[in-house]
A and B are shown apart, each in its own frame.
Chain A
Amino acid sequence: MKLNALLRSPWVFHLSTGSCNNCDIEVLDCLTPRFDIERFGMLLAGSIKHADVLLITGSCNRQSVERLKRLYEQVPKPCLVAAIGECALSRGMFIHSYNCPEPLDKIIPVDVYIPGCPPKPEAIIAGVVKLIERVKAKT
C-alpha cells in the first residue's frame, strides 16, 4: 500500500557523479513544462530527504564514490534508483579510465537503466514510467 502511494507520487532528485553534464541538461529539459511530468505526480525535490526516485548521471569517479554512498544512506527508504546515460550504466567509453574503477551498480542498487548518450527527455520519461509499471506489477 505504501509502495502504491509512492508510485503515484514519485518525487525525483537529480544527482550527478562526475558527468560531462550532457545527461544533466537532458534531465533538466525533462522537468520543463514541455514534457510535463507533473501529470504523473512527479515533482522535482530540492533536498535529498524529500526524494523517492534518484536520477543518477555520470561515471562515478574516485572522489564521488564516497559521497554517493553517504548520499544514498540519507535517502529515506523505500527509494528507487534510475541510472541515466551510458556513463552511469557501465562507464561507457571511460571503461578503461584511470579514474573510474567501478560501475554504478556495484556501489548502490540500481532499479532501471536508461541508455543513451544522452537519452532524449522522452526516453527518460518512458524509462521512469516503465520502472513504475514494473514495480506496480511486481507488488
Chain B
Amino acid sequence: MIYPLYLLYLIVYGFILTAALGLLASWVDRKVTARVQYRVGPPVLQPFIDIAKLLGKETLIPAGASRLPFLAAPVVGLAGVILVSTLLWVNDIYPEKSFLGDLIVVLYLLIIPSLTIILGGFASGNPLASLGASREMKLVLAYELPFVLAVLVPVIKSGFSISIGEILSFQAENGATALSLAGFLALIVVIMCMQAKLALVPFDIPEAETEIIGGPLIEYSGAALAVYRLMKNMLLCTLPFFVMILFMGGLRFDGIHLLYGVLKFIGLVALITVVRNTNPRLRIDQAVRFFWGPMTLLAVIAVELALLGW
C-alpha cells in the first residue's frame, strides 16, 4: 500500500523536480558564462530543447562497441541520480522519514554516475573514449578521498549521527555547519570536489574538448546522449542540494527560510559558474596532486578541529 507513495516520490521528486531544476541551473550557468564573456546567451528553454532534439536523432552504435554496456550505461547512471535525488528530497521535506545510515547510501550512490561514464567510455571501442574514461577513473580516485573526509565533519558536529534527517534537525536548532571553523574548511573542500564530480573546468579533464574531442561520450548520439546529458544536468541540481543539506541547513519551507534556501542554491550554482569561467584546465597529474595533497590536508585539519569541538 505504501508502494504507490514511494513511486510518486521517485517520479515527482526524484525525476521531474530534479530535472527541471537541473536544466534551469544549467541555463543559469550558460547565461552567466555568456554575460561574463560580454555576449548574449541562450534563451531560457535552451537546455530543454537540447534534450528534446537529441531524442529525435538516430542512435548509432559503432561496430567495435559492446552493445549492452554501451546502451545500458546511461540508463543506469540516470537511475542512480534519480535515486539520490529522491532520497535527498524526501529527507529534506520529511526529516522524520530518514533512516540510520542513509548518508552512507547517498555517498555510495553518488559514485554511480561517474562509474557509468567510465563504463560507457570503455564500451565505445574508441581509443579516445578509453583515454577519457581512464582519466575519469583517476579523477574519481583523486576526489573521493577528501570528499568522504569532508563529509565526516557534519557527521561529527551533529553528534556522530549518520542519518541525514538528524543532521538537518541538528542544524535547525544549532545553526548551519558552515558557520563553524571546521565546517567552513570542510565546505571549501566539498565545493572543490563538487566541481570535479560535475566535470567542470578546472577539472573537466575527462571531456577536454580540444584534446580528446568529447572524451568518453565521443561515440554517443541520439537518445543515449540525451540520457547522459540529462544525467549531468540533474547532477547540477543534486550536488549543490547535497552540499546545502550537509552544510547550510537544507531547504526549509517555513517563511523566510524558503527564500534563504533558494538564494543559497543560486549562490552555489553561481559560485560553480564563476570558478568555471576564471580558471584554466588542469592536467590529470596536477589534479590528482591537488586532491591528494592540499585538499586532503585541509579535510584532515577540518576533521581534527571538529573533533576538538570547533
Report the minimum CB–CB distance from A67 to chain B (whole Å): 16
Per-residue A-contact encoding for B228-269, CB less than 8 Å = 1, 0 else? 000000000000000000000000000000000000000000
Per-residue B-contact encoding for A1-36, CB less than 8 Å = 1, 0 else? 111011011000000000000000000000001101
**Residue A50 at the chain B interface, CB threshold 8 Å:** yes
Once A6-B56, A9-B46, A76-B222 are accepted as A-B contacts, the answer to whether A38 and B217 lie under 8 Å apart by CB is: no
Per-residue A-contact encoding for B5-41, CB less than 8 Å = 1, 0 else? 0000000000000000000000000100010011111
Contact B30 A77 (CB under 8 A): no
* Distance in angstroms between the alpha carbons of A1 and B34 in the assembled complex: 28
For B55, list chain A residues within 8 Å (CB): 2
Report the minimum CB–CB distance from A32 to chain B (whole Å): 9
**Residue A86 at the chain B interface, CB threshold 8 Å:** no
For A47, list chain B residues within 8 Å (CB): 213-214, 217-219
* Distance in angstroms between the alpha carbons of A49 and B46 in the assembled complex: 20
Give the interface segment out of B57-65, B86-94, B148-156, B185-193: B57-65
Contact A46 B213 (CB under 8 A): yes
For A64, list chain B residues within 8 Å (CB): none
Residues 58-83 of A at the B interface (beta carbon under 8 Å): 74, 76-78
Closest to A35 in B: B39
Most chain A Cβ neighbours within 10 Å, of B38, B46, B209: B46
Closest to A1 in B: B56
* Distance in angstroms between the alpha carbons of A6 and B57 in the assembled complex: 9
* Distance in angstroms between the alpha carbons of A3 and B52 in the assembled complex: 10
Contact A36 B56 (CB under 8 A): no
Contact B40 A50 (CB under 8 A): no
How extensive is the interface on chain B, given as a class? 20 to 34
* Distance in angstroms between the alpha carbons of A41 and B44 in the assembled complex: 11
* Distance in angstroms between the alpha carbons of A6 and B54 in the assembled complex: 8
For A38, list chain B residues within 8 Å (CB): 30, 34, 39-42
Give the residue of B57, B209, B217 whose beta carbon is less than 8 angstroms from that of A78. Answer: B57
For B34, list chain A residues within 8 Å (CB): 36, 38
Give the residue of B46, B214, B219 whose beta carbon is less than 8 angstroms from that of A41. Answer: B46
Contact A49 B49 (CB under 8 A): no
For B52, list chain A residues within 8 Å (CB): 2, 5
Contact B49 A76 (CB under 8 A): no
**Residue B53 at the chain A interface, CB threshold 8 Å:** yes
Closest to A49 in B: B221
Report the minimum CB–CB distance from A50 to chain B (whole Å): 7
Q: Beyond the given A36-B39, A41-B46, A49-B218, could you list 12 further A-B residue pairs with CB under 8 A, ordered by the A residue number?
A: A2-B52, A2-B57, A5-B53, A6-B53, A6-B56, A34-B39, A41-B49, A41-B50, A47-B213, A49-B221, A50-B217, A50-B220
